[in-house]
Amino acid sequence: MQIKNFLLGSILLSGLTVSAQRKSDTAFMLPETDPAKTEVWSPVPPVVTPAEETFVKAPSDAIVLFDGKNLAEWVSTADQTKMAEWDVANGIITVNKTKGNIQTKRAFKDFQLHIEWRVPANITGSGQGRGNSGIFLASTGGGDAGYELQVLDSYNNSTYVNGQAGSIYKQYAPLVNACRKPGEWQSYDIAWTAPRFNDDGSLKSPARITAFQNGILIQNNAELKGETRYIGQPTYSKYDRAAIKLQAHGDKSEPLSFRNIWVREL
Ligand code: MG
């Protein structure tokens, strides 16, 4: 009787071990759900105060994406048959959060991009919820799909460093914090090399970015690990040409503005 119980116990135990093993295999396969796992909090990039701004006007060969007049070069990301519906007044675009992301009508590959942005002086909120927007150098789908250079009020506003202004979102912190204070205009000058793909969809060469904020180098030929993701690891997915997209972030803070946007195809 004792031997029989012992055997029965062993069988039950080994069964439990197998099922526990299966459970952990399954857990391993489940997609990541915790956004905090890809946050990096140190080292904090040093603050560099930019010199007096010299905003760069579009050169002769640029495609002007916004010259202060209208959104004729832009459509709604959610419905690309619809014109972009952000607010244009006094020569600037202000994000309309109820209308979602907007993107260029044209598709691009490699380019130089100039764009100016301003966090409003009356901005409230903290961390990622303070003047959040973003510039997607390539929009590879709806929503926030693509490759985001972060726009945020990072002037005396702490957040994970790979999510502050000038970061390649959740991949690279900026080399320095070159932010101006809310209420002042800032510029990004970006050189973007699109990723290249093989016929079978595999990656041939990664995307690269060099970027300046207010004339200061913040990304130096950084090699992207894939599309920027809020949750989980970046991966690449084949595309050829893509729109440039601006983010209407869902946070509750006051919307920011853009002006003087132009691109030179390379
Ligand atoms: Mg953003």
For residue 31, the model assigns a pLDDT of 84
Q: How far is the CA of 75 from the centre of ligand 1 (A)?
A: 19
Check residue 91 and give its pLDDT.
97
Asked if 211 and 189 count as a contact pair (C-beta separation under 8 A), the reply is: yes
CATH of 31-265 among 3.40.50.970, 3.40.50.2300, 2.40.10.220, 2.60.120.560: 2.60.120.560
Can you give the pLDDT at residue 22? Answer: 46
pLDDT single digits (tens) 14-68: 444 444 444 444 556 788 899 999 999 999 999 999 998 778 999 999 999 999 9
What spacing in Å lies between the alpha carbon of 129 and ligand 1's midpoint?
10
pLDDT band at 12 (very low <50, low <70, confident <90, very high): very low
Residues in Cβ contact with 112 at an 8 Å cutoff, skipping those fewer than 6 apart: 189, 190, 191, 192, 263, 264, 266
Residue 246 Cα to ligand 1 midpoint, Å, equals 9
Question: Has this prediction a pTM greater than 0.85?
Answer: yes
What one-character DSSP code corresponds to residue 169? Answer: T
Q: How far is the CA of 2 from the centre of ligand 1 (A)?
A: 66
Residue 60 CA to ligand 1 centre (angstroms): 31
How many whole angstroms from 249 Cα to the centroid of ligand 1? 6
Q: Ligand 1 centre from 134 Cα, in Å?
A: 4
- Model pLDDT for residues 163-181, shown as the tens digit of each residue: 999 999 999 999 999 999 9
Confidence of residue 83 (pLDDT cuts 50, 70, 90): very high
Domain ranges of the chain: 31-265
Burial (0-12, 13-18, 19+ Cβ within 10 Å), 170: buried
